Structure 1
Amino acid sequence: MLVLLSWPAPAQARWLEASGRHFVIYSEQTEAELRSFAENLERFDATLRFQLHRADLDRSPQTRLTVYVLADQGRLDALLGARGVAGIYFGRASGSVAFTSQVSRVPTDGGLDPQTVLFHEYTHHFLFNNFGFGAPLWFSEGYPEFWSTVRFTEDGSVQIGLPAMHRNIELTLARAMSVRELLTLRYPISDGETLAVVYGRGWLLSHYLSFDESRRGQLDAYLRALSEGQSAEQATHVFGDLDQLDRDLRRYFDQRHFTYALVPAAQVPIRPVAIRPLTAGETAMMYVKLHSKRGVDSREANSLIPEARRIAARFPDDARVQVALAEAEHDARNFAESEAAADRALAVDPHSVDAAVYRAWAMWGRIAASGDATPAQWQEVRRRLSAANHLDPDAPQPLELFFKSFAAEGIPPTQNAIEGLYTAFELAPEDRDLRLLAGRQLLVAGNAAGARGVLTPLTSDGHSGRLGPRIADVLAVLASDGPAAALARLDAPSTDDGRDRTH
């Protein structure tokens, strides 16, 4: 694959892994640079929890965000197949991932830097995992913008509320949009300028509600009202007279002086970050792994196979290398080869959840492709998925696949599978496909309130493409005609996007 050849050979790179409570990071940075980066990410999560009063519950390592840090923008461009994208995030039950590049300084000229994008996207990830309601558009994009400008001092203290210099133009244009319009604006928005204004004015409103003494407590009250099931329109009552709020917000912007807060490092302690060099096999396989994790189409998947097999043959006893091969083979629909690679990985590391998943998933693909799968074979697939679940009961993907296996066989899911689906969703609510699947099952069960709660966040998710308007239509049918009609509308043919390629 040409893009692989455009990068330095793997032997020239020294990849490190940083492992923390909420993140796993792969990078070519020096150990000191990577440790600082990893600790700042962990401190960012701690600050979000501190400010939003969210407990740090013990969760499966499988639910951590994996961040791949490319050496420079050129390599990130090559990986993503687009120029100038400062970063990207994918929420997945198999393991959410973000791709970014190293940045030596934070731009002061209004440019959008990788750290700003990563913090914006992680705030989305955090909100999905810690707030179980659908926030209006202004908050779902404006609040991540507010957090995207966080910076850290040398002693580990955290600066919150710095100006969003990258939104200068949008903030200037934002005066044309009233607060009343901002608070109730919904997707779809066909006008790119209007959407950009939402980002800028959403940041401004988030900043104002966070720092103005006269509005203290209103943002918390607003979020509480939404969590109690109030609509976007109903929840605005916490702000009082919206015309007055509009005037106050305009004055706040016109003063051109924005306060920021400094959270001392002692108030946001973090756990130690462990750093290790990747094995020779992992380093050699990294470029294949990067493409697999980004997501590939059929052509790309097949182009990776020769290199993946060549590397895996050199490192047959490296479990992580064999898992990477299992994933690449599965993406290329080489199910027998994927299953064999997963078996080799498990022979070396019997506790590898990823290997156990691919051992089941590859068998699934193999028997489904045969066209004559037997009930006993499907039972074996589910037995293997159960084995993966036993290795880590809080890993979402085995639970998701266990539920899906019943539809693949053409039989109704068991109650145990349905409960597993709901658990998987609770563990990985950032996965749109999983959210959609859980919402659909709630409609099947006739649980209108549950389905509404699960599906509503998709209507204000700016990264879901045409899926958001489609779900808004389903929810309108749910309100007027009930779960059965909403299910029929949801199952009607659609061309929605917002999905990953192989994930």
Structure 2
Amino acid sequence: MTGMAWTRGAARLLGAVAAMLAVFASPAVRAEWWEAQTSHFVVYSESDKGDAEKFAALLERFDNALRTLQGMPVPGPEVGAANRVQVYRTGDTDNIAVFAHASGSGVAGFYIPRAGNPVAFVPARERIATSKGIQAGPRLDIRTVLLHEYTHHFMLSNFSTAYPQWYTEGSAELYSTIRFMDDGSFHVGDVPQARGAALDYLPDIPLTRLFDTKATLSGMQQYQSYTFGWLLSHYLNFAPERKGQLLTYLKALNSGEDSLTAAKRVFGDLDALQREVRRYKRGPFLGYDVKPGHYVEPKVAMRRLTAAEEALIRDHMRSQRGVDRKEARDVASDMAGKDAAFSDSLPAQLWVGEAQIDARDWDAAEVAADRALKINPESSAANLLKANVFMGRGKADKSAYAKARPYFIKARHLDELDPRPAIGYYLSFREAGEAVPAAAVTALEQVYPEASFDPQYRLLMTRQLLDDGKGHLARTVIAPIAFQGHEGKEENLLLAVVKAIDDGKLDEARAKMAEIFKKMEEEGEK
């Protein structure tokens, strides 16, 4: 699935095309495909209607639960069609692992945060085939994986707080096990069963290393940061004797205080905390039930996919997942002509056109875009597709960038909640090498509420704010994605930008941002 040029490289997952084709080969008996739409999700499910509806309702209840826990209004504000997370459900766990180019890993799903097009892929059935048959015992299940990833999406969408990696992953694990009851209440605090073995048998991470972002964690410690991060997050959230300390620590981190220094000041003797957590993992684990006021069951709008959509959905999923240059050509070849075969279907034009843009076949993409505009000239997505055709041609002919702008403007007017037209309009000046007008910068800033979950958008905003000399604002935008790990062999350029801003060295921060974008551009050309 194409977005702007700046999203394509970040979404890429490289792997074997032959295996991918095997996953999406037509089954002997084709199942039904249903679309289940809620306020925050669109689920495309290869299952029966009831199963698809139940799954979508569970996801919406989870969003409502997160809002309840954060003291936010339930239901939340309208996010718009483009910002609903599109969840694709097909096959079983083995199929998704191959789809993620991680065959045999047992991957139970994955999520790609893209402004105007967030997507997730999960199995419709839970099954892991191994050489010894079906895998037994606790494992990462479909629901837990998706709820974990949606927690990241939710937090980046609604908060500008920077979290250390152990807490980012630990809190996502904590919320991913929320258990829903029939009366509308839910329970927080269940243990993630798939982490049980690691919790019991693998050694703890020394807190003096976990809190030290300058320390390099071993591969085993990185793996354990999920499990131990959950344990530490659980303890600090629920232990009465530690009440309020976690919030104080996070505030210190966001004010610029060194992580290890803040931890020692707030938590006191870290060896004592380590002993407390070690005792805590023996159980029992604390938790609580929450009964939202005025609970209303989520509404789910159901429809069966059209013949055109069912004919294209598998190739569309490959496109949505992200493609390298070779696979882009393969997908475009497989979809070629289907826009003409389904000439009255707007989704067919959009899906084929997007695949042709990924393959850099601008002429074929324009045919699909023009057909889409003929079907519905007031479609924001159709105008966006036409704009992206010109953006692609701009690589060879810079005059094409100006031709894209009227379509971006119209797309933005037709759907003000879709951040992509504003981002594209801004980039049409930046990539053309022209001065970016104030209106384009304003448009980029205005879509922050709809695009803040996308790290690529945050990078664009940070670069622009630094160019404008607004270091403090730039820090608030980049910090939530900068404090995501420990020092490794390569410099953490995101954290280097934050440190340069903290030191008042904006020129150095701009230079580091230039390095980041150069690497992204090189990756995008592969």
TM-score by length of 2: 0.86
> Which residue number in structure 1 is paired with residue 87 of structure 2?
67
**By how many angstroms is 1:400 displaced?**
0.9
Residue equivalent to 1:397: 420
Match of 1:284 among 311, 316, 338: 311
Q: Per-residue deviation at 1:295?
A: 0.5
Classify the secondary structure of the residue corresponding to 1:364: helix
Residues of 2 paired with 1:233 and 1:250: CA distance? Answer: 20
Contact 1:356/1:387 (8 A) holds in 2: yes
Report if the CA contact (8 A) 1:4-1:287 is conserved.
Answer: no
Q: CA RMSD in A?
A: 3.1
CA distance in 2 between counterparts of 1:24 and 1:328 reads 20
Task: Please list, as runs of the form range in 1=range in 2, the aligned pairs for 1:347-496 lying within 5 A after superposition.
Answer: 347-369=374-396, 371=397, 373-374=398-399, 377-461=400-484, 469-480=492-503, 482-492=505-515
Query: Secondary structure of 1:68's partner?
Result: strand
Aligned partner letter, 1:423: Q
Counterpart position of 2:140: 112
CA drift of 1:252 comes to 1.5
Contact 2:177 2:188 in 1 (8 A): yes
Gaps of 5+ in 1: none
Distance 1:462 1:57, change over 3 A: farther
Distance 1:333 1:462 in 2: 35
Q: Give the structure 1 partner of residue 190 of structure 2.
A: 162
1:135 maps to 163
1:293 is aligned to 320
State percent identity of aligned pairs.
Answer: 34
**Alignment deviations for residues 134-166 of structure 1 (CA, whole Å, 9 cap, x no partner):** 111221111111112223344554232111222
Give the letter aligned to residue 50 of structure 1: T
Aligned-pair CA distance for 1:493: 7.3
Matches within 5 A, 1:30-109: 30-55=48-73, 56-83=76-103, 84-103=106-125, 109=137
Equivalent residue letter for 1:81: H
Name the CA distance, whole Å, in 2 between partners of 1:425 and 1:302.
33
TM-superposed deviation, 1:379:
3.0
Q: Paired residue for 1:251?
A: 279
Alignment coverage as a number of residue pairs:
497
Partner of 2:353: 326
Shift of the 306–490 alpha-carbon distance from structure 1 to 2, 3 Å rule, reads: closer
Secondary structure (helix, strand or coil) at the match of 1:59 reads: coil
Q: d(CA) in 1 for partners of 2:418 and 2:491?
A: 27
Cα shift readout 1:245-280 (whole Å, capped 9, x = no counterpart)? 3332222123x2223333347665453111111100
- Report the more deviating stretch, 194-203 or 419-428: 419-428
Structure 1 match to 2:14? none
Asked if the contact 1:305–1:329 (Cα under 8 Å) also holds between the matched residues in 2, the reply is yes
Distance 2:217 2:272 in 1: 29
| Distance in 2 (alpha carbons) for counterparts of 1:468 and 1:157 | 45
Question: Which SS does the other structure have where 1:312 is aligned?
Answer: helix
Matching residue's letter, 2:186: V
Contact 1:23 1:64 in 2 (8 A): yes
CA distance in structure 2 between the aligned counterparts of 1:467 and 1:165, rounded to whole angstroms: 34
Contact 1:302-1:332 at 8 Å conserved across structures: yes
Contact 2:365–2:389 (CA<8 Å) still a contact in 1? yes
Tell me the residue number matched to 1:21. Answer: 39
Deviates most, 214-223 or 452-461 = 214-223
Q: Report the secondary structure of 2:472's partner residue.
A: helix
Aligned to 2:7: none
How do 1:207-356 residues align onto structure 2 when only pairs under 5 Å count?
207-226=234-253, 232-233=259-260, 236=263, 237-239=265-267, 241-254=269-282, 256-264=283-291, 269-356=296-383
| TM-fit CA distance, 1:415 | 1.1
Cα distance change of structure 1 residues 329 and 105 upon mapping to structure 2, 3 Å threshold: closer
Q: Is the 8 A contact 2:493 2:512 kept in 1?
A: no
8 A contact 2:215–2:486 mirrored in 1: no
Contact persistence 1:467–1:497 (CA under 8 A): no
Unmatched segments (≥5 aa) in structure 2:
1-16, 129-134
Deviations 1:197-250 (A, max 9, x none): 221111012211232233334444444555566553465445455444333222
- Pick which of 354-363 and 474-483 moved more: 474-483
- Summarize the Cα distance change of 1:473–1:226 in structure 2 as closer, same or farther, 3 Å threshold: closer
Give the superposition deviation at 1:73: 2.0
Q: Which amino acid aligns with 1:115?
A: R
Higher relative contact order (CA 8 A, sep 6+): 2
1:105: Cα distance to partner? 9.1
More helix by share: 1
Q: Is contact 1:50-1:268 (8 Å) kept?
A: no
The answer as to whether partners of 1:136 and 1:185 remain within 8 angstroms in 2 is: no
One-letter amino acid of the structure 1 residue matched with residue 457 of structure 2: L
TM-score, length basis structure 1: 0.89
Q: 2:213–2:260: 8 Å Cα contact kept in structure 1?
A: no
AA at the equivalent of 1:39: A
